[in-house]
Chains A and B, each alone.
Chain A
Amino acid sequence: DAKTTQPPSMDCAEGRAANLPCNHSTISGNEYVYWYRQIHSQGPQYIIHGLKNNETNEMASLIITEDRKSSTLILPHATLRDTAVYYCIVRVRSVGTASKLTFGTGTRLQVTL
């Protein structure tokens, strides 16, 4: 299983871009990088995922390095509602057709005025 390393916490001013890094140096060729976030007292929310190309959706952008050993989640204009714990996850395939997601301890992003 590829493990991920994230900083425990980060701050970001409202309106600025939040760049959340993740290291996954043992990732294998067919493993995707997923990002979820968890706002206090709620269930995790899917944000974005990618294999090797950069990805963008309405919530965020995902930049994956060419060697795939690290990635960065970018929230282009952070708001107070983006304050949450952000999890970088490398998919681990389990038996059957269901895949287990292994959540680490994530990065606690605090967006401030």
Chain B
Amino acid sequence: DVKVTQSSRYLVKRTGEKVFLECVQDMDHENMFWYRQDPGLGLRLIYFSYDVKMKEKGDIPEGYSVSREKKERFSLILESASTNQTSMYLCASSLKGRETQYFGPGTRLLVL
């Protein structure tokens, strides 16, 4: 079974802090994704990566950056957290050329 893990289920940070969200997948998938989910807005794609050190902006990249130094790990970085970044963050992965994405359990981030 594909397993996607995220470093924290719940996280509380203060405005202005630098925040790292980590995602690890164990199935050698080439593609990895970061989404955020907010009530009434569904899932929105922040960034994705189709290979090590490669990244592409999604629909809402502002205020975020990503890092993919190893194939199995995709990090989402909030350089200076703001209250409007309070959300559920979901990581996903997929095989190259395959559309099915496998999601992690999510990280619920609260920025005070």
* CB-defined contacts of B104 to chain A, threshold 8 Å: 43
Asked if B80 CB lies within 8 Å of chain A CBs, one says no
Asked if B4 CB lies within 8 Å of chain A CBs, one says yes
| Residues 27-62 of B at the A interface (beta carbon under 8 Å) | 30-31, 33, 35, 40, 42-43, 45, 48-50, 54, 56, 58-59
Bound CA–CA A96/B90 (angstroms): 21
Q: Size class of A's contact patch? A: 20 to 34
Q: Size class of B's contact patch? A: 20 to 34
Contact (Cβ within 8 A) B101 A46 = yes
Contact (Cβ within 8 A) A103 B42 = yes
Contact (Cβ within 8 A) B99 A34 = yes
Is chain A's interface secondary structure helix, strand, loop, or mixed overall? Answer: loop
What residues of chain B have their CB less than 8 Å away from a CB belonging to chain A?
4, 30-31, 33, 35, 40, 42-43, 45, 48-50, 54, 56, 58-59, 90-92, 94, 96-97, 99-106
What residues of chain A have their CB less than 8 Å away from a CB belonging to chain B?
32, 34, 41-46, 49, 87, 91, 94-106
